[in-house]
Amino acid sequence: MPILRAIDDGINRVVWVAHRRSGKDKTCLNIIVKKMLQRVGAYFYVLPTFAQAKKIIWDGIDGDGKKFMRHFPAELIDGRPNETEMKLTLKNGSLFQLIGSDKIDSIIGTNPVGIVFSEYAIQDPKAWGYLRPILAENKGWAIFNGTPRGQNHFKQLYSSALHEPGWFAQINRASETGAISKDILEQEKREIIEQFGSDALFQQEYECSFDVQMSIHQFISSEIVNAARGKALAQSQYFYAPVILSVDPSWTGKDELVIAKRQGLAFTILKTIPKNDDDSKIASLLTQLEDEHDADAVFIDLGYGQGIYSFGKSLQRNWQLVAFGSASNNPQYLNKRAEMWGEMKKWLQEGGSIPNDPVLCDELMTPEAYVIQTGINAGKIQIESKKHMNDRQASSPNRADALALTFAFPVKKKSNLTVSARSSISDYDPLGEFNQPARKEAYDLLKL
């Protein structure tokens, strides 16, 4: 394999573009094991988020049914791996650690000699910016692997690596590697065309095309998201607006629980947890955050949020459940979920600011939207369901849904404000309007 020869020849910067199910992580883990034995030092394996690092590598299983971490021979490991920090030490003193580009501050000040950036197309590129001076000083190496995601920083890095001295770039397309049989590839292509009307997704995921345009059904464009990403706001642009907390719960091993906050044009993610299996613990955390941020409202997705809501009631909290499938208050949309995503899109277009979070940004651009053509709901906008997204192997938009939840209902600020100070906030409704039938259906669904 050319990439392995390049590394053995001393190339210290490698960009590896490879199709889905090509064995990128399995190969890169074995490279790290070899390098850890050759040179004692610290080695990092970076994924887009800490949660993904745990799910995909630390707890993950490869296509052969072998746990990824078993690629580290047990006889070489010194002591027990640190489950909390996802790190292990070899008997020769080399250290391996999994981290997320969303928590890169946790390793600032460390001294790595080798780093793999996995799925770099959806990572925060600032992680490389922070770590590259350290590798330059240590004469260390870096591998960037991933599948294309449009003309973003991964494409720019690949293009640069093609002609930059000391760099190596390689593309492995599914039609060339033989890792997936021709019959399966043809079946995948047929199914993608049947489902989406074109082979664009196939060209991106299997043929590694950087030039694929997003689906015509994409609801929120990359232009909208990039305009909001990391946008700086003055405090005067949001301080007068109500503070809304939202909770998108999770009970499955793949999803994450998200607690977020929006105040006017400013949005931030307060907490992400791999999954929720203790409602009382989450309710206690939510109580703490509600008090800390002096929240005016707390909205919880009804899907897996009933237990959290019930514990909140016992704590005398006036939290509200939101049923995504309930009736929309806007006849333009099929249901509450579509309405909230519609309001969120408008908020982004009107100046909303989101964190420079690659997972959130990707989630905002992933769901598709359709106009219903027939029946009593003809003409209404429907947002793609999580189940449908899962069927096409797209990630569940937990962080994006947490932002959408903040638009469930108008919220009154507890403190008195002048009319002029709040007149420019579209989501502030001094009357509340919680008595409308459709709003009440979703707002008080479980209240008896």
Residue 447 pLDDT > 70, yes or no? no
The pLDDT-based confidence of 197 (bands split at 50, 70, 90) is low
- The half-sphere exposure of 300 on its side-chain side, counting CA atoms within 13 A, is 29
Q: Is the dihedral of CA 349, 295, 103, 204 positive or negative?
A: negative
| 241, 422 contact by CB (below 8 A) | yes
Burial 360-380 (b: 16+ CB within 10 A, else e): bbbbbbbbbbeeeeeeeeeeb
Mean pLDDT, rounded, for 407-421: 70
Q: pLDDT per residue over 298-347, tens digit each?
A: 999 998 999 999 999 999 999 999 999 999 999 999 999 999 999 999 99
The helix or strand, by DSSP H or E, that contains position 168, with its residue range, turns out to be strand 167-172
Q: Does residue 138 have a pLDDT over 50?
A: yes
Among residues 294, 278, 145, 149, the alpha carbon closest in space to that of 212 is found at 149
The label of the residue with tokens 């949660």 reads: 51
pTM equals 0.57
pLDDT band at 414 (very low <50, low <70, confident <90, very high): confident
The answer on pLDDT for 3 being more than 50 is: yes
Instruction: Identify the weakest region by mean pLDDT among 153-157, 255-259, 361-365, 438-442.
Output: 438-442
Residue 255 is predicted with a pLDDT of 77
Average pLDDT, the chain: 87
Is pLDDT at 169 greater than 70 in this prediction?
yes
Q: What is the pLDDT of residue 215?
A: 60
Contact of 210 with 150, CB cutoff 8 Å: yes
pLDDT of residue 214: 57
Residue 188 confidence (pLDDT) above 60: yes
Distance CA 125, CA 244 (A): 30
pLDDT value, residue 417: 45
Give the distance between the most distant pair of CA atoms in the chain: 71
Q: Give the contacts of 277 (CB within 8 A, at least 6 positions apart).
A: 251
What mean pLDDT do residues 214-220 have? 73
pLDDT at 426: 38
**What is d(CA 158, CA 145) in angstroms, rounded to the nearest whole number?**
10
Asked if pLDDT for residue 428 goes beyond 50, the answer is no
Using a 10 angstrom Cβ sphere, with 0-12 exposed, 13-18 middle and 19 or more buried, the burial of residue 227 is middle
**Residue percentage of the chain with pLDDT more than 70:** 89
Give residue 125's pLDDT.
Answer: 85
Percent of the chain with pLDDT over 90: 62
Task: Give the pLDDT score at 173.
Answer: 95
* Residue 213, pLDDT score: 58
Return the minimum-mean-pLDDT range out of 69-78, 106-115, 384-393. 384-393
CATH 2.40.128.20 fits domain 2-172:
no
Could you give the residue range(s) of every CATH 3.40.50.300 domain in the chain? Answer: 2-172
Give the mean model confidence (pLDDT) for residues 141-145: 97
Binned at pLDDT 50, 70 and 90, residue 420 comes out as very low
What pLDDT score does 359 carry?
85
In angstroms, rounded to a whole number, what is the distance separating the alpha carbons of residues 226 and 228?
A: 5
Where do you find CATH 3.30.420.240 in the chain? 222-443
Judged by average pLDDT, the poorest of 69-83, 233-247, 269-283, 313-327 is 269-283
Q: What is the average pLDDT across 217-235?
A: 88
Question: 423 pLDDT exceeds 70?
Answer: no
What's the CATH code, domain 222-443? Answer: 3.30.420.240
pLDDT over 70 (residue 254): no
Look at residue 196 and tell me whether its pLDDT is greater than 90: no
Encode pLDDT of 42-58 as tens digits.
999 999 888 889 999 99
- Phi, psi dihedrals of residue 212, rounded to the nearest 5°: -70, 130
